[in-house]
Chain A
Amino acid sequence: EDQVTQSPEALRLQEGESSSLNCSYTVSGLRGLFWYRQDPGKGPEFLFTLYSAGEEKEKERLKATLTKKESFLHITAPKPEDSATYLCAVRGGADGLTFGKGTHLIIQP
Chain B
Amino acid sequence: EAGVTQSPTHLIKTRGQQATLRCSPISGHTSVYWYQQALGLGLQFLLWYDEGEERNRGNFPPRFSGRQFPNYSSELNVNALELEDSALYLCASSLPGSDNEKLFFGSGTQLSVL
Q: Closest chain B residue to A6 by CB distance?
A: B42
Q: Which of B40, B103, B107 contacts A97 (CB 8 A)?
A: B103
Q: Which of B11-19, B66-74, B75-83, B94-102 lies at the interface with chain A?
A: B94-102
Q: Closest chain B residue to A98 by CB distance?
A: B45
Q: Which residues of A are found within 8 Å of B103, using beta-carbon distances?
A: 34, 44, 46, 97
Q: Which of A4, A43, A97, A101 contacts B4 (CB 8 A)?
A: A43
Q: Which residues of B are found within 8 Å of A74, using beta-carbon distances?
A: none
Q: Which residues of A are found within 8 Å of B44, using beta-carbon distances?
A: 99
Question: Could you tell me the distance between the alpha carbons of A101 and B38 in the complex, rounded to whole angstroms?
Answer: 10
Question: Could you tell me the distance between the alpha carbons of A101 and B41 in the complex, rounded to whole angstroms?
Answer: 6
Write the B25-47 contact mask toward A (1 if CB under 8 angstroms, else 0).
Answer: 00000000101000011111100
Interface residues in A88-109 by Cβ distance below 8 A to B read: 89, 91, 94-102
Q: Which of A32, A46, A87, A94 contacts B43 (CB 8 A)?
A: A87
Contact A41–B102 (Cβ < 8 Å): no
Contact B42–A97 (Cβ < 8 Å): no
Q: Which B residues lie at the A interface, using CB under 8 A?
A: 4, 33, 35, 40-45, 48, 55-56, 58, 90, 92, 98-99, 101-108
Contact A95–B42 (Cβ < 8 Å): no
Closest A-B pairs by Cβ, 4 of them: A43-B105, A99-B43, A101-B42, A96-B45
Q: Which residues of A are found within 8 Å of B58, using beta-carbon distances?
A: 96
Q: Which residues of A are found within 8 Å of B48, using beta-carbon distances?
A: 95-96
Q: Closest chain A residue to B99 by CB distance?
A: A31
List 30 interface pairs A-B (beta carbons < 8 Å), by A numbering: A31-B101, A32-B101, A34-B103, A36-B105, A41-B107, A43-B4, A43-B90, A43-B92, A43-B108, A44-B103, A45-B105, A46-B102, A46-B103, A46-B104, A87-B42, A89-B43, A94-B56, A95-B55, A95-B98, A96-B33, A96-B45, A96-B56, A97-B45, A97-B101, A97-B103, A98-B45, A99-B35, A99-B42, A99-B43, A100-B42
